[in-house]
Structure 1
């Protein structure tokens, strides 16, 4: 227990909280978008309950991974000597692949609803009648999917510690990271609510998150397509793509405002010319 009160442990705790924040960005975006399916007055409540339950289950998952990590990594099904499709599936890979497929489905469905605005409005009315439990359920499930990477990374950062201090330190980091996520999820959701134009950007980022999870799950499952291995998308590449998308959105928005201003100016000149005649 003396390990918990050293300068090294405090620094490690800080690194763990930062790790939870950095790796939790994609999860934060999903929570913000998913919670919009609930009635407006219940959305903050849904986010807090969803993340709160996920924190408890994350700690349970942490204990499970510490004890059963080898069973999550050991393959239970495989297909070899096939020139088209090969894999060596394990529990970890299956969970990440399933999460990737679900997020891509969610993003594509919401983008389609945006394009079909009338159908989207009707669908929203139907969904908000009694979907609070469903929204909370999916927030908790996807939070657990996203937590695998952060917990495994946290285990690597604290591997030099003894078992009990390691568990306590990671549990504290999960709780602090969850509280931070609750606060930021409200802020992100409020921002998206006030700036609806960024909703499309958020959905396309979510789509990239799903692709990243698919690549990670394919790598964990040792998936080969036509003899080529599936390699995971690095976090560096992920954040670079996000920065590029945000910059494109900013430039496009400003350019669109400029075009609208020029159009309005031409219309005003045309109206003045007509009035003078």
Structure 2
């Protein structure tokens, strides 16, 4: 108990807490997008609950991994070699998660390009199982949580700081997920962009699992730049509609 109190008087610990919380939120954006898109397959009255349960599952997963640091670090040990590259348990998890992300993004994009109408969307929502959606979210939470927890371990020395940062980050994500979902649902082009982001992240995860690390800064810059361009496009389309109404 004293350890939990001692770090609160350490300015360095507070600086690490703020930095780590921001990093955890940034790393969790792709998780929010994935949860929003998966929850969209459910009937409307089940979607908020699915999003909340998905993020709570992410919180539990991250805390369990954090309290299993020895096991988590053991995942970085090579199990076997392929073409001179030592493949670890972490590589296998990231590779499998990346392939799943690519598959889900591809199938969603295909459904959109094939002209998903209201009737098709309704049948998808009716056919989607609440349990299956939560299970899929939970499995991907493991993948997203791996990098998140490894980042936490690398940035902070006190496990208490890591726990508080993860809880704060998931709390912020719970507040953001509804707004992000509304924006994605209201603008089909943003949903397509979000699916493209998920495919990009999937490719990066597969590459990372194969030993080809792509710095996350490049990925997040590409995502931020694309999102900024899309925001300008939305603003331009809105202004055109206003002009048409006035004329």
Q: State the TM-score, normalized to the length of structure 2.
A: 0.86
Which residue, out of 211, 215, 218, partners 2:207?
215
Aligned equivalents of 1:95, 1:55: Cα separation in 2: 18
Cα 1:8–1:197, aligned 2, differ >3 Å: closer, same or farther? same
Contact 2:16–2:156 at 8 Å: present in 1 too?
yes
Deviation at 1:146, TM superposition (A): 0.8
Contact 2:61–2:142 at 8 Å: present in 1 too?
yes
Contact 1:100–1:214 at 8 Å: present in 2 too?
yes
Gaps of 5+ in 1: 81-85, 160-165, 220-229, 269-277
Which residue, out of 215, 233, 236, partners 1:234?
215
* 1:181 aligned residue: 173
* 1:199 aligned residue: 191
1:77 has 2:69 as partner: no
Name the SS of the counterpart of 2:188 in structure 1. Answer: coil
Name the SS of the counterpart of 2:80 in structure 1. Answer: strand
* 2:148 aligned residue: 150
Name the SS of the counterpart of 1:38 in structure 2. Answer: coil
Aligned equivalents of 2:35, 2:220: Cα separation in 1: 18
Cα 1:49–1:69, aligned 2, differ >3 Å: closer, same or farther? closer
Greater radius of gyration (CA): 1
Cα 1:257–1:233, aligned 2, differ >3 Å: closer, same or farther? same
Deviation at 1:258, TM superposition (A): 8.4
Name the SS of the counterpart of 2:214 in structure 1. Answer: coil
Deviation at 1:44, TM superposition (A): 0.8
Aligned equivalents of 1:70, 1:96: Cα separation in 2: 14
Name the SS of the counterpart of 1:24 in structure 2. Answer: helix
Aligned equivalents of 1:157, 1:102: Cα separation in 2: 29
Contact 2:61–2:145 at 8 Å: present in 1 too?
no
Cα 1:87–1:156, aligned 2, differ >3 Å: closer, same or farther? same
Deviation at 1:36, TM superposition (A): 0.5
Q: State the TM-score, normalized to the length of structure 1.
A: 0.78
CA RMSD of aligned residues (A): 2.6
Cα 1:38–1:5, aligned 2, differ >3 Å: closer, same or farther? farther
